[in-house]
Amino acid sequence: MAKAAAKKSAAAAPSVERRPALAGQELSATGVTLAVLPPAERISLRAPDASVAALSKALGVTLPQKPKTSAAKAGRTALWLGPDEWLVIDEVGKVPLADCAEVTVLHSAVVISHRNVAISVTGPAAAATINSGCPQDLSLDAFPVGAASRTILGKVEIVLLRTASDAFRVECWRSFSDYVFTFLSEAARDAAA
């Protein structure tokens, strides 16, 4: 597969400042806390079934093949988004694209580290906050810890990952992050009800 810019990623450090969207924003309300998470490495990984084993090995995390699930290992999480699609998030600074570049099986890996912004929603009213604009059933039975899904929040698309019974990671595209954070902030005001 094409390696794109992957191999060059080890080169010189940037001489300019990285300015992530909404960096450091937080909000607390009764029962729920919102926080914009630090940048992470991300790829959109696409591959047929036959490539899954090799890619899992290279990434060090088993790509889940069951809908609405995720797998995590050593700061790296792979979210099933579709039958041939995973969102791989690395929160410890390792570059999943570089790992995929070592693999020769059929796949597509595209860097989207900067495309997405992540917001954590935690606390007993976390699910209620998200359900203010997300039409999925977020009960623990329907959306257990580790569940992951692309879905809707208000008028935008998000990727939702349940990281604990009372904690979610909400990922959205960069330019929608302001809307998503504002929406969650509004919802948080009323989530304890």
CB of 62 to other proteins, least distance (A): 19
Pick the closer one to other proteins by CB: 60 or 154: 154
**Residues whose CB is less than 8 angstroms from the CB of residue 101 and which lie 6 or more positions away in sequence, other chains included:** 1, 3, 6, 7, 109
Binding to other proteins by residue 18, rule CB under 8 A?
yes
Q: Which one of the spans 18-26, 52-60, 70-78, 163-171 is the region binding other proteins (CB under 8 A)?
A: 18-26
| Binding flag, residue 94, other proteins (CB under 8 A) | no
Task: Give the residue, chosen from 57, 62, 85, 166, that forms a contact with other proteins under the rule CB under 8 A.
Answer: 85
* Binding residue (CB under 8 A) for other proteins from 10, 11, 24, 92: 11
**What are the structure tokens assigned to 163, written together?**
């990281």
Single out the residue of 26, 140, 157, 164 in contact with other proteins (rule: CB under 8 A). Answer: 157
Site residues (vs other proteins, CB under 8 A): 1-5, 8-9, 11-21, 39, 44, 46, 48, 67-68, 81-85, 106, 108-116, 128, 131-137, 139, 142, 149-152, 154-157, 173-176, 178-179, 182-183, 186-187, 189-190, 193
